[in-house]
Structure 1
Amino acid sequence: MPFGKLSDQKAREIVPGFYGKFVHTDRMTVSYWTIDAGALLPEHRHPHEQITTVIEGQLELTVAGETQVLGPLEIAVIPGDTVHAGRAVTDCLVIDVFQPARDDYR
């Protein structure tokens, strides 16, 4: 189906305070996140390449030991198998794009 409404999807809490809606193709996943202020994304890694874009709010990200607070329309590019973690400084809206697709989010 080439068209749909994100509003028709029920958000899933993947880690405490991180609520995601997901769109998948055979080769990529786009995640739309609503994140509560103060929510922590534990340090982790995965084989997927990731591009994170903050739409609203402030998100502190640590990628390969480097930390930066991202605001609206700022991005982070995270290579596959790179250790990263995060913390929502404020309530946030964030879009993540993953390649290859995140089967664990299906």
Structure 2
Amino acid sequence: MPFVDTNQLPRHERRPGWAGRYFHSPSLTFAHWDFTAGSDIHEHQHEQEEVWEVIEGELAVTIAGETQVASAGMAAIVPANTPHSVVARTDGRAIVIDYPLRTELP
């Protein structure tokens, strides 16, 4: 699978306001999120390191109790096993990459 057309992947709404398209490489999980203003992802943690790259819009990302607004062109790096949460300040899009794989995602 050297090429993936992410526009052709099925959309999954994991939480209200968060519609994602997922795919896996041999060692990474990728999620292409479309989010709506005011929607959130509750505080949680997991064994994977996670990188959020904002493509469009603004997200308030909290990592280990520290919150920063990330806008287009910014990335937030969440270390493995670290509490984090996200609130969409606007409508937008982000790409999230997890290492190693998140096998529970479609």
Alignment TM class, shorter chain as reference: over 0.9
Match of 1:105? 105
Once the two structures are aligned, what percentage of the paired residues are identical? 36
- Secondary structure at the aligned position of 1:105 is classed as coil
Runs of at least 4 residues off by over 6 Å: none
Match of 1:53? 53
- Secondary structure at the aligned position of 1:7 is classed as helix
Match of 1:18? 18
> Aligned residues, how many?
106
The C-alpha deviation readout for 1:24-68, integer Å capped at 9, x for no partner, is 022111110000111011010000001111000000010000001
Gaps (5+ residues) in structure 1?
none
Match of 1:69? 69
How far apart, in 2, do the equivalents of 1:41 and 1:80 lie?
A: 17
Match of 1:90? 90
Calculate the aligned-residue CA RMSD, in Å: 0.9
How far apart, in 2, do the equivalents of 1:77 and 1:23 lie?
A: 20
Match of 1:27? 27
Provide TM-score, normalisation by structure 1: 0.96
